[in-house]
Amino acid sequence: MIRPNAHSAVTENVDVAIVGCGIAGGLLAGRLARDGFRTVAFEKRPLIGVPVRCGEAAGSREEVSHFVPVDENWVVAELDAARMYAPNLTYVERQMPGFCLMLNRDGFDQALAAQAQTWGAEVRTYHEVKSLLWDDDRVCGVQVKNQADGRAYDVKARVVIGADGVETFVARWAKLSTHFKPRHIHSAVEYVLEDVDFPTSRLEIYVGKEHAPGGYAWVFPKGVNKANVGLGVHPTMAKDGTARDYLDRFVKKFYPRAKVGKLVAGGVSGSKPLKTMVGNGVLLVGEAGHQNNPLSGGGIMNALEGAEEAHKVLRDALEKDDLSKGFLQRYDKAWHRRNGHLIEKFAVLRQLFFKLDDEDINNVIAALNTLVGASPGRITDYAEVFKTAFKAVPGVLWKTRKVLW
């Protein structure tokens, strides 16, 4: 935290300064610029979206195209089914035509940034935000370093957006969140595997202590003979090495002949929603605001939806010239109504999931199979799925008493 910097050569004035030009930052920059606000997005990497830190499974074509026109250059597959394997390798499968697009995240992020530029936003890559500028208890801008020439400069902004991902510094500078506790984060790692027969339109999930304690392993196909194969583990439950050690064993077991390509890694938030994602002159969006699903780790659609809700509130706030915490809290409420209430439930389910041992999960998958078999295609709501799963585990109430009460 610093005061406006006297050493800066230039001080600019903008309406909105966005820190991080990923999914949420890119979409929000575009929407606000389209409304006529002077918007600048700062991205510390030289190239948007690179390196990729993502499993790259998004929502359906229809859901994604609500935010950005779908371009086949960054869509690599469209999935129709999901299969979940129990520790004993029995599985339950669900057909859901077109439920998921597999993306090239770098291309996707670049498309959002290009859309933002088309609508008049300025995107500055290789410019890293180093700190916030404060005016009493109000955030009033950012201090930026141009990595290309080492020059530091100040940008005064009416509102600063933290869209800087799981390791968010904006949230911490603004005292909206702290570091993640190890129990609230998953340690995830992924390889791009090639030259193996993968199902081209079905994603697969493996659960169980052997493969991914406290998390799951995934096989997300990316076209013919290519897939993202990864896993996330709970760092305090992974006793046999790092996430990468678990993944190496998984790949050796299931895809011993695959050609192992690029390695992708990252921390994934598994926490409840933040109490508030706003302060005076500052607002968080995407994983910086803990908007991803704490059970699945998925965050692409959540970031897009979070940015959409943020846009509506920011547009009104900028028009009324009221960027106070009190006004911006409308965004907290809007997010809670749209997704936050679900995320709270998923955070509890995540805790319940930790209490299950492999035998329990085997029973759950068997019970779900009975449910699917009895009425194929009928499972439509989470409630029924979880009710069935819950009944399948003997002594579940005792095991989960500390989570539920």
Partner 1 sequence: MENEKSSLVDPCRLRIDYSTCVSCAACAAVCHTLALNMDALTLELEEQLCDNCSLCVYVCPTGSLYLLDDSLNAAS
Per rule CB under 8 A, is residue 267 in the interface with partner 1? Answer: yes
Q: Quick check: 236 binds partner 1 (CB under 8 A)?
A: yes
Torsion of Cα atoms, 249 then 250 then 252 then 254, to 10°: 160
The yes or no reply on residue 244 touching partner 1 (CB under 8 A) is: yes
Distance CA 71, CA 272 (A): 33
CB of 242 to partner 1, least distance (A): 4
Dihedrals phi, psi of 203, to nearest 5 degrees: -95, 155
Q: Is 153 in the site for partner 1 (CB under 8 A)?
A: no
Are 297 and 230 spatial neighbours (Cβ–Cβ below 8 Å)? no
Contact 235, 185 (CB under 8 A): yes
Contact 186, 265 (CB under 8 A): no
Q: Cα(299)–Cα(57) distance, rounded to whole angstroms? A: 9
Q: Does 235 bind partner 1 (CB under 8 A)?
A: yes
Verify binding: residue 284, partner 1, rule CB under 8 A. no
Q: Please report, for residues 35, 84, 116, 208, 350, the alpha-carbon distance to residue 88 in angstroms, rounded to integers and kept in the order given.
A: 54, 11, 48, 9, 21
Mark the segment that binds partner 1 (CB under 8 A) among 26-34, 187-195, 249-257, 272-280: 187-195
Q: Give the count of residues interacting with partner 1 (CB under 8 A).
A: 36
At 241, list the tokens: 């090495």
Give min distance, CB of 157 to partner 1, in A. 22
Using the rule CB under 8 A, is 354 a contact of partner 1? Answer: no
Q: Which of 34, 38, 45, 83 binds partner 1 (CB under 8 A)?
A: 45
Query: Among residues 38, 124, 138, 172, which is the contact residue for partner 1, using CB under 8 A?
Result: 172
Q: Residue 139 in contact with residue 281, Cβ under 8 Å? A: yes
Pairing state between β 226-233 and 185-194: antiparallel
343/347 Cα distance (integer angstroms): 6
What is the number of alpha carbons within 13 Å of residue 395 lying toward its C-beta? 7
Nearest approach, Cβ of residue 44 and partner 1 (Å): 5
Q: Which stretch binds partner 1 (CB under 8 A): 64-72, 159-167, 216-224, 339-347?
A: 159-167
Site string for partner 1, 121-140 (x = CB under 8 A): -----x-x------------
Whether the CB-CB separation of 114 and 108 falls below 8 Å is answered with: no
Q: 153: which strand partners? A: 144
Task: Pick one of 264, 278, 314, 347: the residue that binds partner 1 (CB under 8 A).
Answer: 264
**187 interacts with partner 1 by CB under 8 A:** yes
Measured from the CB atom, the residue of 4 and 51 that comes closer to partner 1 is: 51
Question: What are the residues whose beta carbons fall under 8 Å from the beta carbon of 160, sequence distance 6 or more?
Answer: 16, 17, 18, 19, 132, 139, 141, 142, 170, 281, 282, 283
Nearest to 261 by CA among 42, 52, 100: 52
Side-chain half-sphere CA neighbours of 255 within 13 A? 25
Chosen residue from 188, 203, 307, 389 binding partner 1 by CB under 8 A: 188
Q: Which of 102, 189, 304, 392 is the binder for partner 1 (CB under 8 A)? A: 189
Q: Is residue 223 part of the contact set for partner 1 (CB under 8 A)?
A: no
350 is a contact residue toward partner 1 (CB under 8 A): no
Nearer to partner 1, 61 or 244 (CB): 244
241 binds partner 1 (CB under 8 A): yes
Partner residues linked to 151 by β-bridges = none
Q: Decide if residue 371 touches partner 1 (CB under 8 A).
A: no
- Of 114, 265, 379, 403, which one interacts with partner 1 (CB under 8 A)? 265
- Select the span of 46-54, 64-72, 291-299, 379-387 touching partner 1 (CB under 8 A): 46-54
- Should residue 30 be labelled a site residue for partner 1 when binding is judged by CB under 8 A? no
Residue ranges in contact with partner 1 by CB under 8 A: 44-46, 51, 53, 126, 128, 147, 165-169, 172, 178-182, 185, 187-189, 235-236, 241-245, 263-267, 269
